[in-house]
Amino acid sequence: MGVYYAGLGQEKYSGEMQHGQMDGYGVLLHSNGSTYTGQFRHGVPTGYGVKVNVFGERYLGEFCEGELHGKGMTGNADGEMSYGVFEMGELQQELYEDIQDHLDRARVAEQYAYQLQEQARQIELNSYLHEIISINHHIHPFKSVEEVRTYTQEEQNHLQTYLQSHCQQLLQVEVTANQWKYKEAELKEQQKEIRYQITEKQHELQLLTPYCEIAEQRQTQLQDAEQTLKMLQIQWKVLQEQLHNATTIPSTEDYLYEHTASIYSRHESYPPSQNERPMSSA
């Protein structure tokens, strides 16, 4: 139990600790004004808790490594709220049933963390007072705790003056942090849009897959038809050659004339003239 400062004093944690790390219930205050109240594990917000950022947005529910992860809710400064299942800060599924128990557990963790915060602050104050008394007793001979508190108040006033002198620098840091927050929000919106486009393209590809299969079938059928056409062309050429050969066969009259001439030649007689050729019967 105690108070822990990190980031050159820019972050302050009050609550339970283990091995020098935030572990258990506590409250973490950032320099930009955002807070987390609830459970911690190994130095990071993990478990049930409540987170409020610089824009007034409130995150309530289960956390993992500093992000809303599990069942919970978010609400902005305009009163708009979202309930459901979150994954590393992103709403994955809207859910309104079986979520109230998780919200109640987050609120209980918040209240318990506030109680431990007060105890841690008191421990820090007592330790600081005893340290001042033991170290500075020869310089400031404090006789009571009230004198120590008065001295502490004066020191805090000096510190407040110093902080005010550097207020402009802190404001610039906050402005820069806000700009990065807006940039982060824009990038998240772009990420959502890209995911939506990817989903749409995947759906279009699923619709085109059957047509691609049909196109492949048609391509195969076209190749088969081309092969068939080539075979028919070859057969047509063969038929044309056969038809041409058939038209060159001698006529019946020429055949009878040549046959008669061969008979006359055997009888040593001249063949009859063209007018004396025997007529072929029809």
DSSP per-residue string spanning 93-128: EE--SS-HHHHHHHHHHHHHHHHHHHHHHHHHHHHH
The stretch 200-204 carries a mean pLDDT of: 88
Residue 239 has pLDDT above 70, yes or no: yes
Residue 17 has pLDDT above 80, yes or no: yes
Specify if 41 maps to a domain: yes
pLDDT tens profile 103-116: 988 898 888 888 88
Task: Tell me the CATH number at 35.
Answer: 2.20.110
Give bridge partners of residue 14 from the DSSP assignment: 3, 27
224 vs 125: which has the higher pLDDT: 224
Instruction: Give the burial string for 186-202 (b: 16+ CB within 10 Å, else e).
Output: eeeeeeeeeeeeeeeee
pTM for this entry: 0.46
The tally of domains found in the chain comes to 1
Specify if 269 maps to a domain: no
Q: What is the pLDDT of residue 281?
A: 47
Specify if 99 maps to a domain: yes
Q: Tell me the pLDDT band of 282, cut-offs 50, 70 and 90.
A: very low
| Residues spanned by the domain of 51 | 2-121
Unique residue bearing structure tokens 């339970």: 16
Specify if 30 maps to a domain: yes
Q: What is the pLDDT of residue 198?
A: 92
Q: What is the pLDDT of residue 205?
A: 86
The mean predicted confidence, pLDDT, of the chain is 80
Specify if 160 maps to a domain: no
Specify if 268 maps to a domain: no
Specify if 90 maps to a domain: yes
Q: 22: burial class by Cβ within 10 Å (0-12, 13-18, 19+)? A: buried
pLDDT tens profile 160-187: 777 777 777 767 777 888 888 888 888 9
Specify if 106 maps to a domain: yes
Q: What is the pLDDT of residue 25?
A: 92
The stretch 27-56 carries a mean pLDDT of: 88
pLDDT tens profile 122-156: 877 777 666 666 655 555 566 666 776 777 788 78
Dig out the tokens for 281 from the structure: 């019967």
> What span, in angstroms and rounded, lies between the C-alpha atoms of 32 and 72?
24
